[in-house]
């Protein structure tokens, strides 16, 4: 079997990380805004934006942190 050389640092497109964070903020911010309009409140949009940012960061860490773990298990 031919083994390909493994990179020493995680490989990934930084635009994916940016996209996860921005998409999380936009989607959950929009859901918070809709919930605010529906319930007549004014704080759910802020909670949605914060939750979206946290989930976007989590998705970024989960994606880019998984690469070194998989490589270490294959050794």
Convert the pLDDT of each residue in 7-44 to its tens digit: 555 567 888 889 999 999 999 999 999 999 999 999 99
- Nearest to residue 22, comparing CAs of 63, 61, 57, 65? 57
Model pTM greater than 0.75?
no
């Amino acid at each position: 079997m031919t083994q390909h050389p493994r990179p020493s640092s995680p490989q990934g497109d930084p635009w994916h990380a940016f996209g996860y964070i921005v998409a999380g903020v936009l989607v959950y911010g929009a859901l918070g805004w809709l919930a605010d309009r529906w319930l007549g409140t004014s704080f759910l949009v802020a909670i949605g934006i914060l939750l979206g940012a946290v989930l976007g960061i989590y998705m970024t860490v989960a994606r880019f942190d998984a690469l070194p773990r998989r490589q270490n298990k294959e050794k």
